[in-house]
A and B are shown apart, each in its own frame.
Chain A
Amino acid sequence: MNHIPQGLLTVFIGIFVVLVIASIITFVLTKSKPDKNFHELVLRIKSWWIMAILFSIAILINRNISILFFAFLSFLALKEYFTLIPTKRAHRAVLFFAYLSIPVQFYWIYMQWYGMFIIFIPVYMFLLIPLVLIFIGENKGFLKSVGSVHWGMMMMLFGLSHISYLLVLPPENAVGAGGAGLILYLVVLTQGNDVAQYLWGKLLGKHKVVPKVSPNKTWEGLVGGVATTVGLAYLLAPFLTPLSPLHILFSGLIIGIGGFIGDVNISALKRDIGVKDSGTTIPGHGGVLDRIDSLTFTAPMFFHFIRYLYF
């Protein structure tokens, strides 16, 4: 095990303190209002515990374990996406190539080859996928397959893999808690933003932002959530990042707004297909995509913001 930076440890302890408090509140709620059903909330908190523990293990042990963890997360997300969307039997080989590109993409990250990491999916896989379909020779549904497969790879693989690249940015610039600190910062702000938008929406929500896509999203929730995220960004930045005060503000805004877009983006997909949850993997949350939807946007946005300024 590597030496764990003080800031990282402090924030992890903070996460578990928050979870303990959330568990206590849930416990008190279920005891004081036995007539109300808190089953869903209890499940959700329980799942948060499991996710927080898995994530801590993935981040704290070492860099290679973290890369493997995020590769596996991409695999789960892509699998859920392919299960969700209509696919054609004749085109199943192309899905196989999509899965194969996961280890390849994460190998570029492992070897710190930024140039290849940034073009492999958007350029080479973009060109390879139609080629595979052409060799299969089934023209019916060509555009549907080529489009939906590559879109999924861009979201679940390319987008998410930006989280891992934070780990291999030059360590001398990532003063503070290193790449692991940046990941923790991104993930805590993104997930916190989801929760904050939900809570503000429940509390004050009135005016719908995108009623046709996601009727539960309100302007009050969005603004309250983004403000909370900016606040949290200021609180956590000194522990985890080299960000200057102005850049913290932008990070909070990027993650708050990006998280919202990532969320409604997957909502639109689910509405199109006609499902409520993307899967059943995470009790109380739904599927993997329901939990990482915001990250598919915040990861590349935050990554390029911080890379441009600091690396």
Chain B
Amino acid sequence: MNAIRILFSLLIIRPLILIVIGISGRYRFRLPKKGPAIIVANHNSHLDTLVLMTLFPLTLTNRIRPVAAADYFLKNRFLAWFSLNIMHILPIQRNGAKKIDDLFANVHEALKNGDIVILYPEGSRGEPEKLQNYKTGIFHLGRGCPDVPIYPTFMHGLGKALPKGDFLLVPFNCNVVVGDPFYWNPQKKEFMNELNKRMTDLADEGDFPPWE
């Protein structure tokens, strides 16, 4: 399966993202060279995860683990197989978990193994190209791994290329801005404010016009 993921990345994901879409990345050197690490990013499109994967070298392919909602990505057998094996997701139950710490058990496990975890704190893709408020899931996740660095990453343009609820892929050049890492903080409000500030600062780095 590891080899298939690398081939899929090399033959499908990378050509699609680098040629059809086109990524201009800023501060890519800030990205972690190895795990454990948490990448938090804004979420506009199914393309987001594919783009983040292309930012890492091919040799890290099997280390990249996107956290994804079980109710959506495991809803039928084909999608579940693809999500778990090819995209290598860490499924989480968005609702119905008894204890909030159990919710992220598999994520903590992956981080212990030295994986790089991708998390979208907005929860879902939402309105394309509009930042939503970050949910506190990232705070609860961080409690179990306070020494893992968190890399804020801002992406722009992918919601234009493939917005939620649309199936037509329209190529646009997209931007990715990578931020410096920071760490979990037991003060929930402080931590969430810091995350928000870091993400808005990254968004302000580029001159991204709003989308009608």
Asked if residues B160 and A281 are in contact (CB atoms below 8 Å), the reply is no
Nearest B residue to A76 via CB reads: B22
Asked if residues B168 and A96 are in contact (CB atoms below 8 Å), the reply is yes
Digitize B168-212: 1 where CB-to-A-CB distance is under 8 Å, 0 elsewhere: 101111000000000000000000000000000000000101011
Closest approach, in angstroms, between the C-beta of A51 and any C-beta of chain B? 17
Residue B91 CB within 8 A of the other chain = no
* Chain B residues near A270 (CB-CB < 8 A): none
* Chain B residues near A79 (CB-CB < 8 A): 22, 171-173
Asked if residues B212 and A86 are in contact (CB atoms below 8 Å), the reply is yes
Closest approach, in angstroms, between the C-beta of A262 and any C-beta of chain B? 21
Asked if residues A92 and B160 are in contact (CB atoms below 8 Å), the reply is yes
Asked if residues A95 and B170 are in contact (CB atoms below 8 Å), the reply is yes
User: Which of B22, B166, B170, B212 has most A Cβ within 10 Å?
Assistant: B170
Cβ-Cβ contact count across A and B, 8 Å cutoff:
44
When the two chains form the complex, which single residue of B157, B163, B207, B212 contacts A88, counting CB atoms closer than 8 Å? B212
- For the complex, what is the distance from the CA of A88 to the CA of B163, rounded to whole Å? 12
When the two chains form the complex, which single residue of A89, A95, A96, A281 contacts B22, counting CB atoms closer than 8 Å? A281
* Chain B residues near A95 (CB-CB < 8 A): 170
When the two chains form the complex, which single residue of A76, A80, A92, A280 contacts B168, counting CB atoms closer than 8 Å? A92
Interface size of A in residues (CB-CB distance below 8 Å): 20
Asked if residues A89 and B173 are in contact (CB atoms below 8 Å), the reply is no
* Chain A residues near B24 (CB-CB < 8 A): 279-281
Digitize B102-123: 1 where CB-to-A-CB distance is under 8 Å, 0 elsewhere: 0000000000000000000000
- For the complex, what is the distance from the CA of A96 to the CA of B172, rounded to whole Å? 11
Residue B36 CB within 8 A of the other chain = no
Interface of A is mostly: helix
When the two chains form the complex, which single residue of B157, B168, B212 contacts A93, counting CB atoms closer than 8 Å? B168
Closest approach, in angstroms, between the C-beta of A186 and any C-beta of chain B? 26
Closest approach, in angstroms, between the C-beta of A245 and any C-beta of chain B? 44
Asked if residues A83 and B170 are in contact (CB atoms below 8 Å), the reply is no
In the complex, chain A residues 74-111 whose Cβ is within 8 Å of any chain B Cβ: 75-76, 79-80, 82-83, 86-89, 92-93, 95-96, 99
- For the complex, what is the distance from the CA of A89 to the CA of B173, rounded to whole Å? 15
* Chain A residues near B171 (CB-CB < 8 A): 75, 79, 82, 99
In the complex, chain A residues 251-297 whose Cβ is within 8 Å of any chain B Cβ: 275, 279-281
Asked if residues A89 and B211 are in contact (CB atoms below 8 Å), the reply is yes
In the complex, chain B residues 1-37 whose Cβ is within 8 Å of any chain A Cβ: 22, 24
Closest approach, in angstroms, between the C-beta of B5 and any C-beta of chain A? 28
- A83 in contact with B172 given A280-B24, A281-B22 (CB within 8 Å): yes
Nearest A residue to B172 via CB reads: A83
* Chain A residues near B22 (CB-CB < 8 A): 76, 79, 281
* Chain B residues near A75 (CB-CB < 8 A): 171
Residue A231 CB within 8 A of the other chain = no
Q: Can you offer 8 A-B residue contacts whose CB atoms are under 8 A?
A: A79-B173, A82-B171, A86-B211, A89-B160, A89-B212, A92-B166, A93-B170, A281-B173
List the 9 closest pairs (A to B, CB-CB), nearest first. Answer: A83-B173, A280-B24, A88-B212, A83-B172, A95-B170, A92-B170, A79-B171, A96-B170, A96-B168
Q: Which residues of B contact A (CB under 8 A)?
A: 22, 24, 128, 157, 160, 163, 166, 168, 170-173, 207, 209, 211-212
